[in-house]
Chain A
Amino acid sequence: MIQFDAIHKVWPDGTQALCNVSLEIPRGQFCVVLGPSGAGKSTLLRAVNGLMRPSGGRVLIDDIEFNLGSERQLRQRVAMIHQHFNLTNRMSVAANVLAGVLPSVSTVRALSGWFKPEQRHKACQLLDRVGLTPTHLKRRAGDLSGGQQQRVGIARAFMMDPEVVLADEPVASLDPKISRDILGLIRDAAREQGATVLCSLHQIDLAREFGDRIVGMRNGRVVFDGSPAEFTDDCVRSLYEGAHWDDSADDAEQNEPVQRSVA
């Protein structure tokens, strides 16, 4: 279960990214976050694993508050799937997937690349599960197509048996058919694990199809919270139309200061 308790975020330039967001996402739910660019979707997701540090409020995962002390422990239970896949392009697919298990591997094993047999076995199983073949194992991640790269990203995310999966616009750069496949993979894999999914999207049809619940955000506030059935076309219109956001808000989201440091 993820709890957002009055999360508040102001960027150093004074932009209000999140404004007193309180949400409770029960275990096993596939929760889709919708909203125009710059609404604070990514910021909300990144508060769960501490890539963004809120200016105020608390995030709790299974009643453990996210702070510096619990960061390391909680991050191992939270997986993330990224919009730009965030694979190490020059590294093999196998190594990229195995990198998903790094937190629980000793430094010697990590640096020598000598992973335990069960970890290697799991990497193969997951790659098979996301629809890749043994021929992909040794290929460089950067040489794969976008859809295949996201499949590798999913395999990496599930290496640690996560309790929470954050998917930050996982299909933003993929075509509709592959987008549906990818979201289906995330949903099914999460269901098998009993993991909670928090997924930001731009495609309303996909949100309705895959979401157990839809959260609409605008200007850092939650303006809609309900089931896909309740998310009518009128809701879509009021969520997106006439949104006079600043283009630079999207840039600010991309260049936020947290990305600059590897804390």
Chain B
Amino acid sequence: MNSRPIPVPPQGTALHWQLNTPYNYKHLLVLFAIVVLLLVTGQRTEMDRMLVMTTEAVGNLLGIADDSQVVRGLSRVGEAMWPPMISESDEISRLPDLDRDKLPLFSRIEVQQRVEQRMNLETLQLEATTDTIEVLIKPVGYLWTVFVKMIETLEIALWGTILSVFLSIPLAYFAARNYSPNRYIYTAARGIISLLRSAPELIVALFLVLAYGFGPIAGVLALGLHAAGFLGKFYAEDIENADKKPQEALEAIGAGKIKTLWYGVLPQVIPQYIAYTTYILDRNLRMATVIGLVGAGGIGQELKGRFDMFQYGHVMTILIAIFLFVFILDQVQARIRARLI
């Protein structure tokens, strides 16, 4: 069989249509606008000063510049934070229930001399007096405290995530354009989602602490509400974007909305759902350490207390603990994800 080439008009033949160059003056204008925007906002956020100070700091570390505010500030904090505090000591006189024959694990009693400035009421002068006190030393006592607080933080994050998943499932159903019963419910669900997502956890926690008091309840609710907005939005968008073909097949036999969602949509979107949910768990763990700052329980509450008392050694221990927890969680998550997807 003879094959004929597809006829192509000779070079230079005028066509009634053409492929334009990829860029034109409009792109230049947009580029110019972006540069102006960057310059203006950069100046307003003191990016220039940031550059100067950072350069100074690097110069100081390399021995070129004499003085750097940044290095001075950081080293002062750094020195105060090292070494991390892992032990805990209590005066025996403040522990009336202590049974001397049955000390807690790993702990011992030490006799210490303490010099204290006291006002002599007769002379009205400050005098240095030396007291001998007994102290209960727990060598890893503070590490244990941090560990317990960290577990509490993990629990807050976990329950915040569980709450958000349960809240976001109905939200996502009503906020998915193709499953929402009508336009008004759709708009309402989208509104609730935006509202939840727009309120930062820290602010929500601040108010919830007023309502529920100090402790984990406020933390769980704050995390759960915020994450429900996030998950609701992403679940809903996945439902909307899911492959329509299986849904059509189930619609064609009259399966009904819920069953169609369950059999035609959910199996397709479940990997993304797991990804979002684990991201939320990860984010909640990090946020759970922060919301304690306003009194919503967990390690953050401990961190805030120590920070306010200038006990930077304790702060260091907490920071290391947080880092380790996030790191371990990452590893666990990677493993679970690999198995599920």
Q: Please list the residues of chain A having a beta carbon within 8 angstroms of any beta carbon in chain B.
A: 49, 51, 71-76, 78-80, 82, 84-91, 95, 99-100, 102-103, 105, 107, 110-111, 153, 156, 160, 166, 259-263
Contact = CB atoms under 8 A, between A and B. Distances in A.
Contact of A261 (B178, B245, B256, B268): B178
B270 interface: yes
Contacts of B264: 88, 99
Interface string B207-246: 0000000000000000000000000000000000001111
A76 to B, nearest CB: 5
28 contacts: A49-B252, A49-B253, A75-B252, A76-B253, A76-B254, A80-B249, A82-B248, A85-B245, A86-B249, A88-B246, A88-B267, A88-B268, A89-B246, A89-B268, A90-B268, A99-B250, A99-B255, A100-B253, A102-B250, A102-B256, A107-B258, A110-B263, A153-B249, A156-B249, A160-B253, A259-B244, A262-B247, A263-B251
A261 B253 CA distance: 15
A131 to B, nearest CB: 20
A99 to B, nearest CB: 4
A87 B253 contact: no
Contacts of A74: 254
Q: B178, B179, B244, B253: which has the most chain A beta carbons within 10 Å?
A: B253
Contacts of B250: 99, 102
Interface of B: 178-179, 243-260, 262-264, 267-268, 270-271
Given A82-B248, A85-B245, A110-B262, 6 more contacts: A49-B252, A79-B253, A80-B253, A89-B243, A102-B259, A260-B244
B267 A91 contact: yes
Contacts of A111: 258-259, 262
A182 B251 CA distance: 23
A263 B181 CA distance: 9
B263 A91 contact: yes
List 9 A-B pairs, minimum CB-CB distance, nearest first.
A75-B254, A86-B249, A102-B255, A86-B245, A91-B267, A88-B246, A90-B267, A80-B252, A99-B263
A104 to B, nearest CB: 10
Given A88-B267, A99-B255, A262 B179 contact: yes
Contacts of B257: 262
Given A88-B264, A89-B268, A72 B251 contact: no
Nearest to A80: B252
A74 B253 CA distance: 9
Contacts of A85: 245
A183 B310 CA distance: 81
A74 B262 CA distance: 22
A211 B311 CA distance: 87
Contact of B246 (A80, A87, A166, A263): A87
Contacts of A51: 248, 251-252
A95 B262 CA distance: 11
A84 to B, nearest CB: 6
A261 B260 CA distance: 12
Contacts of A99: 250, 255, 263-264
A7 B277 CA distance: 48
Contacts of A262: 178-179, 247-248, 251, 257, 260
Contact of A103 (B244, B248, B255): B255
Contacts of A107: 256, 258-259
Contacts of A153: 249
A75 B267 CA distance: 24
Contacts of B248: 51, 82, 86, 259, 262
Among the interface residues A71, A91, A95, A166, which one has the most CB atoms of the partner chain B within 10 A?
A91
Nearest to B254: A75
A259 B257 CA distance: 14
A45 B178 CA distance: 23
Nearest to A89: B268
Contact of A102 (B244, B253, B267, B270): B253
A261 to B, nearest CB: 6
A115 to B, nearest CB: 12
A82 B246 CA distance: 10
Contacts of B255: 99, 102-103
Nearest to A162: B253
A156 B165 CA distance: 32
A39 B250 CA distance: 25
A260 B256 CA distance: 16
Contact of A86 (B246, B254, B259, B267): B246
A162 B92 CA distance: 84
